[in-house]
Amino acid sequence: MTTRVRVLLYATAPADSPDAVAQAYHQISTQLQGTPGLLRNELLSGLDRPDTFVVLSEWASEEAFLQWERGPEHRQATAPLRPYQDAGWRAAFGVYRVAGDYTAVG
């Protein structure tokens, strides 16, 4: 059984450029459209700290993500977000398997 994975990347916008993370996210998302295995991505902003962000990407499988991550396009495509990565969470990003999923109905 193929298990989806979600990748979380943590970022903080600099005080002098509060839109920097959102701009980088949109630039990267445009480039990644059509990437095999990438199902979707979202930019989440902190309710209590609007300068903090999480980029959540959902991949069809761990293999699809790892193939893309190890490929030559990965580092170049994601470069615009790199200056804003926030390692204050232990690491600037995390990769998680979907271990449970409830969908709200109604």
* 85 within 8 A of 93, measured Cβ to Cβ: yes
Reported confidence tier of residue 33, pLDDT bands at 50, 70, 90: very high
Q: pTM of this prediction?
A: 0.83
Separation CA 89–CA 7 (nearest Å): 14
What do you get for the CA distance between the two ends of the chain, in Å? 29
Angstrom distances, CA of residue 90 to CA of 85, 87, 93: 12, 6, 9
Give the pLDDT of residue 66.
94
Domain ranges in the chain?
Answer: 5-97
Gap between the Cα atoms of 59 and 68, Å rounded: 10
Phi, psi dihedrals of residue 92, rounded to the nearest 5°: -75, -15
pLDDT in tens, 36-83: 999 999 999 888 888 988 899 999 999 999 999 999 888 899 999 999
So what CATH class is 5-97? alpha beta
pLDDT digits (tens, 9 = 90+) for 76-106: 999 999 999 887 766 666 776 765 665 656 6
